[in-house]
Chain A
């Protein structure tokens, strides 16, 4: 177990293994995306109230849901860095932050565009929107904190602490729609019946898109982790061999 743990922490081992994983992630991702998007654009029936704008949900909800995963992921990686000093954990923490900012930005943008049609405004300072915007700024904060600190170890520690603090905001985002009255609607309960709100014809393509976007996140993270490994390990023999072989 310990051997496996320390092996997993080795950048070289991860680089080799992730190279083998990638096709197995990209394949299902492409398949789910194609099926999901065609389903969402062509086959989902227009909503009884918002008509075809419901199709925006199939982009907005997957991105919003994965956005909530970034701070817990960075906090976990940060804790591992602080306690065990595992090299790979800090690589995860560093590469996840800019990705998180992009995913959060897309969730905010798609929500805004949807809202401008349905609510009649593209922005309002309600609990859900404000806490999500705060997450975006927190991620920018994590990124700039790391680039401001030259000492890599100090940067890793500072970012780990900020990431753990940022997790509080994730709880606020999640429950904002239940704690306070907001313009943003609460999350929908899925119904198994075809004759109830949120029937399978609405949520099956949504689940497909959620899985597709999760895989997309995994692929993006692995790709930028591999680049970060190449930079950090550039003095090691295996990277130099790899560079010369290409």
Chain B
């Protein structure tokens, strides 16, 4: 085999292995944790060990938000309207954060069963509309997802 052919061949082998490695690793990473977060119900069912770093996704429970006067410490409950998880967090909250909002928190559960979050992310739903449309919907009582969910019985 001529040397430049050999060189080409090795480049191709290199690229192909590199690509398959990238695809393989990505698929592996995804299969390990293809879902971004656990639901509060999964946590309540004991799927998560104490101290394990995880993410939990749910709604900020209405009326659960308490914030400290002298610091950025907050406490709230995240819920899937079946189970709740209490979250402690210190830091800046995303702009969209408020009660009834879908969120994802990152952190671990401590010995007291409280979730110590190191990061809070807001999850936006697929409904876009103006303030006026939102107000009209609320007035009519036929609201977007958030409203429907929060009108479900809470446990």
Q: Residues of A at under 8 Å CB distance from B?
A: 45-50, 54, 57, 117-121, 124-127, 130-131, 134, 137-138, 141, 144-145, 148-150, 158, 162, 180-183, 185-189, 194-199, 201-202
Contact = CB atoms under 8 A, between A and B. Distances in A.
A57 B126 CA distance: 12
A49 B124 contact: yes
Interface string B127-154: 1111111101100100010000000000
B58 to A, nearest CB: 11
Interface in B43-101: 57, 93-97, 101
A173 to B, nearest CB: 12
A56 to B, nearest CB: 12
B26 A45 contact: no
Nearest to A138: B19
Interface residues of B, number: 45
Given A127-B36, A183-B104, A145 B121 contact: no
Interface string B112-132: 000000011111111111111
12 contacts: A49-B96, A119-B121, A120-B96, A121-B119, A180-B34, A181-B36, A183-B123, A185-B124, A188-B127, A197-B128, A199-B133, A201-B130
Nearest to A151: B8
Contacts, number: 128
Given A124-B121, A126-B36, A197 B95 contact: no
Given A57-B128, A148-B12, A180-B36, A127 B30 contact: yes
Nearest to B36: A126
B111 interface: no
Nearest to B139: A195
Binding site secondary structure of chain B: mixed
Contacts of B23: 134, 138
B95 A127 contact: no
B134 A48 contact: yes
Contacts of B95: 50, 117-118, 120
Given A49-B96, A145-B12, A185-B124, 18 more contacts: A48-B134, A49-B101, A118-B122, A119-B123, A120-B121, A121-B121, A124-B36, A125-B29, A130-B29, A130-B30, A141-B18, A145-B15, A148-B11, A181-B39, A183-B123, A188-B127, A196-B129, A197-B144
A181 B130 contact: no
A135 to B, nearest CB: 11
A141 B19 contact: yes
Closest 8 CB pairs of A and B: A120-B94, A45-B130, A197-B127, A48-B134, A188-B126, A126-B36, A148-B11, A141-B19
A167 B30 CA distance: 18
A210 to B, nearest CB: 15
A202 B128 contact: yes
Contact of A181 (B57, B97, B127, B132): B57
B132 to A, nearest CB: 7
